[in-house]
Amino acid sequence: MTQLARLSKVGVIPVVRGSQPETILLLAKALQAGGIDTIEITLETPGALEAIRKVSTEMGETFLVGAGTVLDGETARLAILAGAQFIVSPSLHPAVITVAKRYGKPVAPGAMSPTEIVRAYELGADMVKVFPASTLGPKYIKDIRGPLGHIPLMATGGINENNAADFIKAGCKAIGVGGSLVSRQVIEEGNWSYITEKAGHLVEAVRAARSEK
């Protein structure tokens, strides 16, 4: 199965901000126990590349680790060399797409307007991250997919177990979930059972939504 297919299969991509190398494996295993085998580690934290390397090395092919908040081509390259298997941006940066494609990695740049979404896809995006999703809402996704149904979309920003199904029903291939699943407080507390439980709820919400489409 390709990396892109794996991103879409479960359809839930946890977005971890402020990752710490010393706890990242425990977090990955907690997510995996809940049915999620993917994680996006954002790069604004100094230890993020080390965390990516650790998950990639220790979890191997059983877990898909990606880099988020990638804003330039060189950062994309460093993340891939550290072991990132997919790249995500909050905005549209052509150099990021170019580097990801050069290394054969799926890339999901951020976009908001129809023009940005089409431009991202034309530049080679595998999925386009619609951000901020909660501000725009599921109806926006549904409306966008009218003329642009050929472009795979991922919704990120304000997604939780209460609205996840709505974004999937609207036509998203995947959802990026941050604080409602992997908040810094829960990670600092080491409440891994909570994360496993929440992960399971999100996986089930996506599965149920897909079966109703």
- For this structure, is 212 an active site residue? no
Predicted confidence at residue 213, as pLDDT, reads 67
List the catalytic residue out of 29, 40, 173, 198.
Answer: 40
DSSP alpha helix (H) spans, the chain: 3-10, 21-33, 48-59, 73-82, 94-102, 114-122, 133-136, 138-148, 164-170, 179-182, 184-189, 192-212
Predicted confidence at residue 212, as pLDDT, reads 87
pLDDT digit string (tens) for the chain, length 213 residues: 899 999 999 999 999 999 899 999 999 999 999 999 999 999 998 899 999 999 999 999 999 999 999 999 999 999 999 999 999 999 999 999 999 999 999 999 999 999 999 999 999 999 999 999 999 999 999 999 999 999 999 999 999 999 999 999 999 999 999 999 999 999 999 999 999 999 999 999 999 999 986
The CATH classification of domain 3-212, taken from the options 3.30.460.20, 3.20.20.70, 1.10.3210.10, 3.40.50.10490: 3.20.20.70
List the catalytic residue out of 29, 54, 129, 198.
Answer: 129
DSSP letter string, 165-205 = HHHHHHT-SEEEE-HHHH-HHHHHHT-HHHHHHHHHHHHHH
Query: Domains of the chain: which residue ranges?
Result: 3-212
Measured CA distances, 53 to 5, 60, 67, 81, 181 (Å):
22, 10, 11, 9, 22
Predicted confidence at residue 189, as pLDDT, reads 95
- For this structure, is 40 an active site residue? yes
Its pTM stands at 0.96
